[in-house]
Amino acid sequence: MPPRASKRLKATAEKAVTATVATTEVKTTRKTTKKTVVQETTVVVEKKTKQTSSETKSAWGALFAKPAAKRGENKGIKPKSVDGISEEVQKKIEEFAKFDGVTKERSPETKWKLVAWNVNGLRAVLKKEDSIHFRAYVAQEDPDVFCLSETKIDSDELQKLEDMLPQYKHQYWSCAAKKGYAGTVIFSKVEPLSVKDEILVDGKTADDEGRFIAVEFDTFWLVHTYVPNAGMKLDRLSFRTEQWDKALLKMLKELEETKPVVWCGDLNVAHQEIDIHDPKGNRNKSPGFTDAERESFSEILANGFVDVYRQLNPETQQYTYWSYRFNARAKNKGWRLDYFVISQSLLSSVESTFVRDAVTGSDHVPIGLELKAL
């Protein structure tokens, strides 16, 4: 069964956008019940800009969001011109201290460099216009595709981030309906063939929290997720393992019918005891290290998928997350919660995988995967 196309994406793809500044389209539909009227608002933005004599696609690919707006009130994003990065900011980026272990150098055989990072909020970028630390890391790493999770960005803030990373001409944002919560984005130098932003749980979309984006390239699907946390009281454990994980596996298998899959992001599970600093003290007590979550992840892997880092480093204790409390990072009391999981058929194409544990700015660190030509 082929993957189900996003209705929102279909609407975007069928309409050519030719304006030289952002064009914002707000579609409002109403669902009527016996006594109530429910209003749903979907914002779709796709823009082209003209630079010198040639036309190039803008820094935004497509935007999927559900902005909170009162009935009859249009809070769509207003278009503005593209300014890019100033020479002064660019100079600061170039002169920024080198991050230990980070390099844009790559093997001649490397075709794709993919990076995923839970940034625990991008509001700092909004508050500090030049955001040198963040931009310098991206410039030094120079991935082809850069995936961020837990962006905590609302739809009405996206315009402020328009030129944050102008080297990525294709950007795909999924924002949570709840303000300041969850959210994911994919920045890509390569234009995808298609994009999906829907994952179904019990036949209903589960994307209200902005946790799922999938982009299709010539030779593979890239799926980026911010998997739901089971909650400190494990109150979302059943939803996570019995609904979300099962729906995600179904989606991965459907996508794999057409092309191999690369799945990345904060998967919110420490799969094995080697993936957590205190397995005995956390087992079945802490979200991310319950038997149910670990078994659910094992089930996904059993369907022909491979945890790349663990496959290549079977005995290495490497973490990607440390709590801000108790000086956990300095004491290296961490968890490995961030992964690249790939179709078995892609394993021979893996050039390298890495964890950038010297990069600060979040309670997680960036992880990466380099692939040869497929």
* Residue whose token pair is 């707000």: 26
d(CA 279, CA 323): 15
Report in angstroms the alpha-carbon separations of 150 from 7, 18, 40, 239: 24, 32, 23, 19
d(CA 154, CA 117): 18
278 appears as a binding residue in the annotation: no
150 appears as a binding residue in the annotation: yes
Question: Could you tell me which of 324, 318, 326, 317 has the C-alpha nearest to residue 366?
Answer: 318
268 appears as a binding residue in the annotation: yes
d(CA 67, CA 44): 11
Q: Alpha helix locations (H) across the chain?
A: 7-13, 87-95, 123-127, 132-141, 237-238, 245-256, 279-282, 291-301, 308-312
266 appears as a binding residue in the annotation: yes
Residues annotated catalytic, as ranges: 226, 266, 364
For residue 135, give the H/E element and its range.
helix 132-141
As given in the structure block, the two tokens for residue 307 are 């945890």
Amino acid 155 reads: S
Residue 51, beta-bridge partner list: 54
Contact between 102 and 135 under an 8 Å Cβ cutoff? The reply is no
Binding-site annotation, residues for Mg(2+)? 118, 150, 266, 268, 363-364
Known binding-site residues equal 118, 150, 266, 268, 363-364
